[in-house]
Amino acid sequence: MVRFDNEISSSSFSSSSSISGRKYDVFLSFRGEDTRKNFTDHLCSALKREGIVTFRDDENLEVGEAIAPELFKAIQESWSSIIVFSETYASSRWCLEELSEIIKQKNERGHKVFPIFYDVDPSELRGQKGKVEEAFAKHGEKFKEEAVRWRTVLTEVANMTGWHLNNRHESELVRDIVKKISTKLRQTFSSAPKST
């Protein structure tokens, strides 16, 4: 059955975006082949049902193509980012470039960052072991300079508190995330001055 009551909450959250001067409430960063059709899809749908304006890139970026400028623009125009760290997140240089921009916006403009550790341990990201170590070995000499920056931002985010899938049901995790983001948005913008 289709629910229409989300249209009411949608209008309340769209005002949060206009108050903050940002186009999106959330930018979703994820490794497409890992979670696009399952966890990230369910999370994105749940955020939108709650009226949280969400950007998700559904284009497939091919090797050799430049990072789409609109991705960086979408991050810059977002109040926050949810980063879904999956097993092969670090093997995608596109994901690592997104992550770099997200951390840049966090440090320069107060962009909020919400990590999700989806079947990956934060210690693997911090120590860059296991699949992360394999990923950097594959990036090799070609991206040697970028790798220094990527390693730094991975460590920074791995030191943040976030959600862990562990043995939880995905639907339960999605509910917790949406509730937290919704609460944070309300807290942030309920006291913001209304534009006249």
Task: Locate the DSSP E strands across the chain.
Answer: 24-30, 54-56, 78-85, 112-117, 163-164
Residue 86 · residue 34 · CB < 8 Å: yes
Catalytic residue flag (residue 98): yes
Task: Report the sign of the C-alpha dihedral through residues 143, 75, 31, 166, in that order.
Answer: positive
Q: From the candidates 33, 50, 87, 98, give the one annotated as an active-site residue.
A: 98
Angle 82-88-94 (CA atoms, 0-180°, nearest 5)?
A: 65
Residues 148, 155 contacting (CB under 8 angstroms): no
Residue 169 DSSP symbol? -
- For residues 106 and 80, the answer to whether their CB atoms sit within 8 Å is no
Cite the active site residues.
Answer: 98
